[in-house]
Amino acid sequence: MVRARAVRHVMMIRAKNAQLTNKLGSAVSFLGLSMAALAPAHAESGWSLLNMTPGVTEISRKIYGLHMEIFWICVAIAVIVFGAMIYSIITYRKSKGAVADVTLVHNTTVELIWTAVPVAILIFMAVPAARTLVEIEDVTKTDLSIKVTGFQWGWQYDYLDNGVSFYSHLDRKSNKARELASGIDPNTVEHYLLNVDKPLVVPVGSKVRLLITGADVIHSWWVPAFGVKKDAIPGFINEAWFKVDTDKPGLYRGQCAELCGRDHGFMPIVVDVRTKEDFDAWVKAKAAEQKQAEAPGAAPAQAEATASTTTG
């Protein structure tokens, strides 16, 4: 019966009753609050801010789907269990002359049922979850590889296919406003602490592989809209991938999600997702600019690049 109920609830979700889903989802989805804050500007408001967002990749939508399916299963179980409990407490209370039913203490059939039903529910949840997990880990057939290095406190991006490499730091406006007695109201700074000087630029509709590592301590590269959150650990290379829907170019924001020291809160991530043509043009220009900077006689640019690494 629990299973039938669960299936019915899952079907409800598939009917995409978004409003109700968001309202109830919000009650338990604490993490979703910050995730929604990182979503693009056109994001929803009100109750839906408390839930996860479906994101802009197939994987992120699958993760969202799993989140909602399992949420509804939990709701169904809670309704059944607490319903039975509250009903029993009220109906069979001592003051009404209720006497404990001792036959249930060792009832093999009941014990079998309350073992089998949870196992069935767990399998019902584990199969789609495992399938999605395998897909998340599948970094084959990628179009582009980028090495992401977290450092105190910023990100370094190396485009392994074409040699483009740069550092990405908190933008100047946020950086100024965050200083003590800066006199700047953070509310007046657009995308306060969620903006960078140089965003990671990627093409839309391409499978982008990230090789994630850390230069000093453990950081974590987290962009909710892509369904990607991967630790950047010194001495290890973690892999992740994302493929943004072809109709969803734009700016997507994230943050370091591993407490990494004093300025942990000041190393945001911005991904600029462009059309393939725009991306190709950007890579070409960036590679040329870099080549020029590295050419003999271009010492100032080189010095500046080195300085940015050391000042972090």
Q: Which residues bind Cu ion (CB under 5 A)?
A: 219, 256, 260
Nearer to Cu ion, 228 or 256 (CB): 256
Taking the least distance from each CB to Cu ion, the nearer of 227 and 254 is: 254
Minimum CB distance to Cu ion, residue 269 (Å): 10
Distance from the Cα of residue 27 to its chain's centroid: 19
- 219 vs 243, which CB is nearer to Cu ion? 219
Give the full edge-to-edge strand order of the sheet including 269-274: 200-203, 269-274, 250-256, 219-223, 228-232
Element (H, E) at 74: helix 58-91
Residue 233 CA, chain-centre distance (Å), reads 18
CA–CA separation, 69 and 25 (whole Å) = 10
- Under 8 Å CB-to-CB from 259, ≥6 apart: which residues? none
> Among 22, 49, 23, which residue's Cα sits nearest to residue 37?
49
Task: Report, in Å, the least distance between residue 132 CB and Cu ion.
Answer: 26
CB 11 within 8 A of CB 70: no
For Cu ion, the closer of residues 245 and 263 by Cβ is 263
Q: How many Å apart are CA 223 and CA 132, to the nearest integer?
A: 18
All residues at 6 or more sequence positions from 120 whose CB lies less than 8 Å from its CB, including other chains: 3
Residue 229 or 276: the one with the smaller Cβ distance to Cu ion is: 229
Smallest separation (angstroms) from Cu ion to the CB of 150: 5
Instruction: Specify the residue, 67 or 219, whose C-beta has the smaller distance to Cu ion.
Output: 219
Smallest separation, CB 154 to Cu ion (Å)? 9
CB of 168 to Cu ion, least distance (A): 12
Closest approach of Cu ion to the CB of residue 118, in Å = 39
| Strand-pair partners of 273 | 202, 250
Looking at the DSSP assignment, which residues form a beta bridge with residue 256? 221
